[in-house]
Amino acid sequence: MYYFDHCATTPLHKKVLEVMQRTESDNFGNPSSTHKWGQKSRSIIETARSQMADSIGCSPYEIIFTGGGTESNNLVLYNLIHNSKNHVITSAIEHPAILNVLDRLKHFGIKTTILKVDKTGVINPDHLKETIRKNTGLISIMYANNETGVIQPLVKLSSIARDHGIPFHSDGVQAIGKIPVDVYKTGVSMMSFSAHKFYGPKGVGALFIKENTQLKSFIIGGGQERNLRAGTENVPG
């Protein structure tokens, strides 16, 4: 029997499982602790951060770990509440982790413009230009679609955002592991990822945040992950 649903989730790679089991068994220290067990766990996390950064072409400092792609998206979108510019532009083909969050945010005064795609599933950059307002605080367009596989022209779209001084976020969950991802070349300010889409465990994600992009914490507590995602880290994950 063959498995053909890799866009929903991928099987955990055997080597990943081996590393997770060994780490869970041998490295139980809290990464925030200063003793050797804690510092060993901290070292494991920072090695993973560097590996993730290398895989998408950015600095380790620009990576924070989260509980998945949905959490990464929520972190970005909920920052609109703190933004004086309360208008966001997205597309009609986004994942519910974008569209449902924006529907909730309308109760906080956030206004959303939803772009349609053409018959090939692609967003017309000219349509994006036409929808930008003085109070546009974010543009969020997915990289690759989870149902059609269509890849959006992120370089063109992000350059429009950059020309207007607007942060550009992309849900890259369906792109990584399927096509080469270079966040600097795409020109995005932020990009979300989920480990279980490329042979990693469920419940683990990451968010690329370009240097000098300002975000406030979504989960508040002990100050982990650059004060953006509190909670004792999942070292094996």
Q: What percent of the chain has pLDDT over 90?
A: 95
> How many angstroms separate the CA atoms of 12 and 20, rounded?
11
Structural domain contains residue 82: yes
- pLDDT at residue 54, as a whole number: 98
Structural domain contains residue 98: yes
Structural domain contains residue 12: no
Res 236 pLDDT > 90? no
* Number of independent structural domains in the chain: 1
> How many angstroms separate the CA atoms of 113 and 132, rounded?
9
Which domain, by its residues, includes 121?
61-212
Question: Edge-to-edge, what's the strand order for the sheet holding 136-140?
Answer: 63-66, 205-209, 190-194, 168-171, 136-140, 87-91, 111-115
Structural domain contains residue 41: no
Structural domain contains residue 18: no
Structural domain contains residue 55: no
CATH of the domain at 169: 3.40.640.10
Note the Cα 175 to chain centre separation in Å: 11
pTM of the model: 0.96
Res 191 pLDDT > 90? yes
> How many angstroms separate the CA atoms of 72 and 64, rounded?
9
The packing angle between helices 69-78 and 96-105, to 10°, is 30
Structural domain contains residue 93: yes
Q: Please, which pLDDT band fits residue 20 given cuts at 50, 70 and 90?
A: very high
- pLDDT at residue 218, as a whole number: 84
Residue of 215, 187, 222 lying closest to 64 (CA atoms): 215
Structural domain contains residue 224: no
> How many angstroms separate the CA atoms of 76 and 96, rounded?
14
